[in-house]
Amino acid sequence: QWYQRRVRGKSKESGTQIEVMSTKDVYMFPIMASGMLFGIYIIVKYLSAEHLNLVIASYFFIIGTWALSFIIRPVLGVIPGSSLLIDEEPYHMKFNKGSLVYFECKFDLLYVVSLVLSALFGVWYIVKKHWLANNVFGLAFSINGIEMISLGSVKNGCILLSLLFFYDIFWVFGTEVMVMVAKNLDAPIKVLFPMDFLDKGIFGSNFAMLGLGDIVLPGVFIALLLRYDASKGEGSQFYFWVSFMSYVLGMGMTIGVLTIFNAAQPALLYLVPTCVGIPLVTSLIKGDFSSVIAYDEEQQETPAVVEETECKKTE
């Protein structure tokens, strides 16, 4: 299982560095996010949107191409004949000065093909700014974000999402900041849904939008519960499915209220009670609450790291 192939700070399967949030990070996150959001708001409000969006489009072309290539590569890997592009000894690019390494990258020809296809897709995004291209980049960022971020423990996840519950309510209902940034920042930081899809199809222009934070932040909590399931060694994904279906329920509530009132809604107002509340209540009913709330990835992963070290010493 993926959990068993994962060591502290790094995924063995992809080689991606995993950022584990500490309790201090959890408490600081809403403050840092608020500062960044307000800073972007000031820029959008008082500077030329045209020049700002040009800079942002160039930036997201680069990181979007990179993020999408990591998603495309596994897909290309299942195509017959793709094994010819996978080298046992990959190319190694390294930029260093003495022992100080500034940049290091290992890749094979399959990754190069993935990067080229992603770059072509990025050109389509820059030229057309089509909502489908925006969504593909946005979902690529979301998948990479969920893989690269760990909340560390269920307690951290509950605290973070509870704080962001109030964060989202304040910035959406209490100010114009969140809505203005979302509407005026032309970048794949949101997923777009054409409300006039039935009339105009993929050429619709009246969009509802969902911020990537409303995907990634509940997503990392759901992924954490999946790893909790795996840590029990029972082959069950019970709490993952409970939390995943809770997310679907919360999103359905968000869309329903948005449709009825035709006004911007803070998605975390509905997602946090469902994604956090329902799994915790379920664990209470099943008698697993103390086990779930005490789950800490650092404590779970330490034995694996020690065991691997001992094996190396034995060899």
Amino acid at 91: Y
The 3-state DSSP class for residue 137 equals helix
Chain center to CA of 34: 18
Of 241, 281, 273, 305, nearest to 4 by C-alpha is: 305
Is residue 214 part of the annotated active site? The answer reads yes
What is the DSSP code (8-state) at residue 21? P
Distance CA 271, CA 277 (A): 9
Of 60, 192, 70, 203, nearest to 122 by C-alpha is: 60
Question: Which of the following is catalytic: 25, 87, 168, 229?
Answer: 168
Chain center to CA of 10: 16
Amino acid at 148: M
Is residue 288 part of the annotated active site? The answer reads no
Sign of the CA dihedral with 155 first, then 290, 278, and 233 last: positive
CB atoms within 10 A of CB 121: 19
Amino acid at 73: R
Are 214 and 269 spatial neighbours (Cβ–Cβ below 8 Å)?
A: no
Of 110, 109, 92, nearest to 101 by C-alpha is: 92
The pair of three-digit structure tokens given for residue 191, joined into one six-digit string: 């997923």
Are 76 and 82 spatial neighbours (Cβ–Cβ below 8 Å)?
A: yes
> Between 278-286 and 238-261, two packed helices, what is the crossing angle to 10 degrees?
140
Of 121, 109, 213, nearest to 163 by C-alpha is: 213
Question: Which of the following is catalytic: 108, 214, 229, 296?
Answer: 214
Active-site residue set: 168, 214
